[in-house]
Structure 1
Amino acid sequence: MEIPKGRVQTISKSEEVHLKQLWAHLFQHWGIPVNSEIVLTNNAIVAESTNGSKTDASSESSNNKGSSSKNSKKPGKLFGRFRKATSGSKDSKDSNDRARTGSVTSRRSAEDIEHMYPPGMIHEALKDLKAEEVSENFWEMLRTDYPDNLILRFLRARKWDTDKALGMIAHTLHWRLTEGHPDAIIRGGELAAYQNKETGLIKNIELSKASLHAFDLKSRPVVLVRPKLHHSSDQTEAEMKKYCLLIIEQARMFLKEPVDSATILFDLTGFSMSNMDYSPVQYLISCFEAHYPECLGHLFIHKAPWIFPPIWNIIKNWLDPVVASKIVFTKSTDDLAKYLPMKSIPKYLGGEDDYDFDSFKKPDESADIKLKDTETREAIQKDRKVIIQKFIDATKNWIESPDDKTSKKWLDAKISISKELTENYRKLDPYVRSRSIYDINGTLKV
């Protein structure tokens, strides 16, 4: 399978500089010593511009004006400017006032947040979190993804602006730890909803409002959403958000390198105004834009009824242009067949897939027997810590590389270690995550 551009396996020299910068910032916050002078000054990027990457060079130069000259004198300390807001200044006061005005996820997108908060506020987002917690959550956020490719999603989403990408990652880690808790949601799975007696969440699960079963022509998992089954009174807002995150994180379980995005098919067959609920739509949009960048391949709106255009006129105003560009309206089986193989299109939509989307059965607790095997889990986790340390050591050597040859040597090592990390997670998964219906029926093979 061809690997798209902007991934660690296909990264350009100028993109590699931005990736090195971001790792250097993270290491500094985590207390990992690294000599980052080469990558945190303009020297490397200016040198790159002589090889034909003037766009990156000029962009990075303008981004670093006023900060790079000062920080180049203090190797490895550039992250300090992310920690300090200028006390007493009007900008700082305004920023602190804004920081107190409610949940950041109530904003339209992370892009808005980053414009609203100056770089100095990023430390405010992390001020109540220990560096060890942030570091631990980063490694827990990985499934079978490569660490570099996870970070590269944020860099691509912020057009290779290191500062903005770092702000976006900080915001996401803060959200995962203190608000969304998606790692706990995916590990508890459907069974946790029954154990916690979350009736609204259980109803969403049993109705299979969203189902994962097939793959599109680019091997991306397809999430089939059936809004005709939704009524806002069926669940609380908290249960709705938890269901959205369960589906998103389940979709992530289906991703296999180099595939790093999913396709969503909104089937509006039978949709009526009684099914319309703007709240989950807003929440999904905010999640994809703020916390799951570059994870959406296509979003199909299929068989939109005549009542839908006024609704769409409202929704499209909430969308980031990048997300909006991935939305495709389809009306027929032939329209879908341009993107999905016939075997992935449900029979009721004219395809060949005879999967029963209404046959959800509560997972049997016996499927989770490995969750009780703490000895095996701890042994695999111990191996994982060793692999992570190998990756960190290789990344330090890569950041500190004095020339392209050495840099490539360590980049290749990082890719190799990433494969080890992926295989380790595959071993670990049944010992930390409750089996979902997809594990049990064989649809999901981690």
Structure 2
Amino acid sequence: MPAPPGHLGNLTPEQEAKLREFWTATLRVFGVEDAQHAAGTETPQTEDAVSEIDVKDKEKAKKRFGVFKRHKDKESSSGRATPTKDPSDHKDADDKYGQAKEFQEILSTQTPESLRAAFWSMVKADHPDALLLRFLRARKWDVEKALVMLVSTMRWRSQEQHVDDDVVLRGEGGALEDSKSDDPAVKKEGQDFLAQLRLGKSFLHGTDKEGRPLCFVRVRLHKGGEQTERSLERYTVYVIETTRLALRPPVETACIVFDMTNFTMANMDYTPVKFMIKIFEANYPESLGAVLVHKSPWIFQGIWKIIRGWLDPVVAGKVHFTSNVDDLEKFIPRSRIIKELDGDENWEYKYIEPVPGENDTMKEEEPRKAVEAERDAEVREYQRMTFEWISKGTGREAEKLKEERHTLARKLNDNYWKLDKYVRARTYYDRTGMIGPDGTINFYPPTASAGSSNVPKIATSADDVD
């Protein structure tokens, strides 16, 4: 399957120039100003130079604030891109969540290294270029707006939702532990998180005709007020982050099926809907391939008019209404439509509880530190090589460097799956075999599709990264 236009492996010269421009701005925000700094190989300071460090640090801080003010020409004749405007000056419809206002505040309150760490933590098993391209496409290749969105997302992940140091790190096992806490508030959060998993309020299973992972949401199982707002948010982020791990190039999006069977007004809850819309538009750009609203009753028509008004037109255009299995079959092969939705696949969701000791590896500090050190070295080499690639602009040398960067991106992918067992709590999808310990993805694992003889076994490896 070829990469779609605007994706890694299918970029126009102009789009590739925008990617170089975006990397230049991003690395500057990280306080990375040159190839030596990028690789962490600066010459050690002498005693005479130590007194100048504070002055230089202040100068670097000013440079970060002036990311888009240093050059007036967007593109030089060599094909090297340089940003031109301060993104915090943007006032337009694209900034519906006020991210531009946050931009300068984030740069003034978070260190370059903390932002750099947040970015590489967010990358996980992704190709770094592919991640940046998501933000560029979402902002119609406007580098300034894409940078604002990226920086805001890094703050959201690390400071607001604590995606990597809580939701992913503790996961289901952490929720089980919390559910036994003596603290009523902590206990409630843990119980609520697990309740949604045990109910099967939503789950991942299979792929659609485009090879996109399918996420099913049984709307009838949600009752407003049954779970705390925080537990609903953590659960939503947990599902999205798990889905991210199942994506393999050239597939970069998922298909969500909202099963509205037996929907009543008791199931309608605008708060989590708003949260879901916000994070897909602001923090997980270009992640939705299609949204199927299945068997919605007439009462939902008025609700949809309200929700549609909140959606970005591009996202709204991905929403399709289906009434029966024939409608679903336009998007999902009938053999992969579960019997619950009148399809042919004999599969049903049954939650498997966390297994005692499944996260014990996360306690092994020395092996984790060794893998993290390996990753840090590879990240710094990738940054250094990116500087070289940017400096070459276009031509034979630039193409050679681009291929070397792709090779290093594959090494980063391999490294992530070595690190995964130390930084991500095991999930239902690990227990069923959908996610293998080496990053292999099997959307129809034998243990999860027992009794189904007409569903093909589809396995993809971590090696499939671009």
TM-score strictly above 0.5 = yes
Choose the corresponding residue for 1:111, options 52, 74, 95. Answer: 95
What corresponds to 1:12 in structure 2? 12
Q: Aligned partners of 1:65, 1:444: CA distance in 2, in Å?
A: 41
Q: Aligned partners of 2:68, 2:384: CA distance in 1, in Å?
A: 31
Alpha-carbon spacing, 1:254–1:66, altered in 2? closer, same or farther (3 Å)? closer
What corresponds to 2:274 in structure 1? 282
Corresponding position: 1:127 with 2:118: no
Aligned AA for 2:72? S
Matches within 5 A, 1:254-273: 254-273=246-265
> Do 2:24 and 2:82's aligned partners in 1 also have CA atoms closer than 8 Å?
no
What corresponds to 2:431 in structure 1? 440
Q: Aligned partners of 1:65, 1:440: CA distance in 2, in Å?
A: 47
Corresponding position: 1:361 with 2:352: yes
Q: How much does 1:274 deviate? A: 0.8
Corresponding position: 1:345 with 2:326: no
Corresponding position: 1:182 with 2:163: yes
Choose the corresponding residue for 1:139, options 113, 120, 127. Answer: 120
Alpha-carbon spacing, 1:444–1:341, altered in 2? closer, same or farther (3 Å)? farther
What corresponds to 1:155 in structure 2? 136
Choose the corresponding residue for 1:431, options 422, 437, 448. Answer: 422
Alpha-carbon spacing, 1:234–1:66, altered in 2? closer, same or farther (3 Å)? closer
Q: Aligned partners of 1:109, 1:344: CA distance in 2, in Å?
A: 39
Q: Deviations over 1:302-342 (max 9, x none)?
A: 01112110111111000001100110111111211121122
State the SS of the aligned residue for 1:352.
Answer: coil
Q: Aligned partners of 2:174, 2:93: CA distance in 1, in Å?
A: 30
Q: Which moved more, 1:235-244 or 1:284-293?
A: 235-244
Q: Aligned partners of 2:223, 2:3: CA distance in 1, in Å?
A: 41
What corresponds to 1:51 in structure 2? none
What corresponds to 1:195 in structure 2? 177
Choose the corresponding residue for 1:172, options 114, 131, 153. Answer: 153
Q: Return the structure number with greater helix share.
A: 1
> Do 2:255 and 2:288's aligned partners in 1 also have CA atoms closer than 8 Å?
yes
Alpha-carbon spacing, 1:109–1:243, altered in 2? closer, same or farther (3 Å)? farther
Q: Deviations over 1:265-302 (max 9, x none)?
A: 00001111111111111110000000000000100000
Q: Aligned partners of 1:371, 1:149: CA distance in 2, in Å?
A: 28
Give me the identity figure in percent.
35
Q: Deviations over 1:389-424 (max 9, x none)?
A: 221111000110054222211111111111111111
Q: Aligned partners of 1:72, 1:356: CA distance in 2, in Å?
A: 54
Q: Aligned partners of 1:431, 1:355: CA distance in 2, in Å?
A: 31
What corresponds to 1:418 in structure 2? 409
State the SS of the aligned residue for 2:72.
Answer: helix
Corresponding position: 1:293 with 2:282: no
Alpha-carbon spacing, 1:84–1:209, altered in 2? closer, same or farther (3 Å)? closer
What corresponds to 1:39 in structure 2? none
Q: Aligned partners of 1:109, 1:171: CA distance in 2, in Å?
A: 17
Q: TM-score, normalised by structure 2?
A: 0.79
Question: Please, which runs of 5 or more residues in structure 2 have no aligned partner?
Answer: 36-66, 180-188, 440-466
> Do 1:9 and 1:415's aligned partners in 2 also have CA atoms closer than 8 Å?
no
Aligned AA for 1:186? V
What corresponds to 1:248 in structure 2? 240
> Do 1:240 and 1:280's aligned partners in 2 also have CA atoms closer than 8 Å?
yes
Aligned AA for 1:69? K
State the SS of the aligned residue for 1:222.
Answer: strand
Choose the corresponding residue for 2:399, options 408, 417, 428. Answer: 408
Choose the corresponding residue for 2:389, options 374, 387, 398. Answer: 398
Question: Please, which runs of 5 or more residues in structure 1 have no aligned partner?
Answer: 36-63, 86-90, 96-107
Q: Aligned partners of 1:72, 1:156: CA distance in 2, in Å?
A: 19
Q: Aligned partners of 2:324, 2:330: CA distance in 1, in Å?
A: 10
Q: How many residues align?
A: 392
